[in-house]
Structure 1
């Protein structure tokens, strides 16, 4: 249990709330057609390293920004005037919390890492025959093969899982590699499938972990990821890293559209319908999600929404570390590993 501070603020919550607010400023700084500044640019403007700024903006593994940095971010990002006092109060509470922990350590107190980041076993999410889903705008998307979509697939779409998935998987993956230069293994067999069904053999580490369950009230990189992927599927919602009522309503709508149990939680079956391929040259919310999850896993990546050479290298490094084929492109196995990797 988090230790209560004298001012009533739960130990650690001020840092997460501050980080969420600062991140909301950054995400909302794209106005009038202008792109939001990259983290590298923003770090230079406020006089900190990019790694430090990344921690300021990462609610899943936050570093409390000092008041001077908060003021600088507020000015550079042209954040709402009324937010400054709130942010400064959170910064002061976070500093007080740190001082309180130092002066009054609690024996055996668990790690400060948010509990919601742990990979929970899915519970109660029912499978179903997913309905067709239109290609998500200009970004590469998927269509469930078991129920063909009435929409024309995009030119960069890769094969999806079919009814005879074991027999066709190797051919589908090989074709995707040869034609597009990046691998999409959306239809990868479940654990326990006979050897040889996978396109590449590699030692399995976190790739074997099941998908996490993300539910209402969560504040983490996983909540950001869900929101960004919903945007890829043309849902309109705020991306603030908070799994609140708005996000839950959009998840339910997505689940109903795909024939899943509309429980408002994102578990294995919902994740598999939600994730889309991400590959070099791509851009969009799904690329931002990949970059954010890479950063959370300890692979510094500037969150630009553009799949650059640096992003490709970070993905390859992550894949090697987690026993996945180092393709540099994000397929279903890589998405699962990214969402289950513990914060660095």
Structure 2
């Protein structure tokens, strides 16, 4: 790695320094006691970004543009040294400030148009990407400046056509939104059936029902939401008789079919708007769900903090939702859909013991 150290010493830009640091975290992940280095493909899936984007973040040949939430999530996922997190944050802030100054100036080697150009020219081809994934790593994008002048000329020639295409697509998108307006004038982006995202398959509310198995984070979110409505059930993830009875009572009061199942009709009535100033069981539910979507740890406190808002905005941006930093119906649905398979009980849950349903008739 001596030649890499030399390259790092020659280029002191914060974005390049950040790329070196993130790259080292990934390369050394397997050396941590009990840890294994994930492939970039697997790591990208955990972070909610595409593999090409993650490869660029970890490539020291380019100034990394990794946002703060990705940096923190990488630190958590790769179990990097705790002492290095603050340095990574500082490099990330400095890189963002440098990029901002260059965008304002509109010139320089790292101008605003360059990252997108790198995405287009450096993305690995299908065969190369498949070979890299099979080998347990990914291709590092190519060198800067390759056919740069020709690429800029082609871009200038293609610009008028791109503008026309953008106008046509915007008009088509407007027509789709218009057709999806409900009779009362509200866009039906979230509802009983599911949330519709532009260019994406609709989300569907998960179905929970009474059973002996632990239903993990979704089960605890359900129970905390029931508690937010005044019920008293233990938020342990086990959908027992007490949870079932509370669901049926809630359904009757909301004029829903009292079947004790929580799906497309019951979830939209259960979830509550959560944002700055909120606290209580509904905030616990949001934080627990955020803590289990693979973007790094979220503090589960029951109080909606500025960090909770930033975590929400990062999740919303990642999943093509309006980045409001508030949990509306559509965000609730996306959080429930994107829960990771359980690995181990989180720290705030370890003191709880399961409460299984009664076997009495």
TM-score of the aligned structures, taking structure 2 as reference length: 0.41
Pick the structure with greater CA Rg. Answer: 2
TM-score of the aligned structures, taking structure 1 as reference length: 0.43
Whichever structure has more helix as a proportion of its residues is: 2
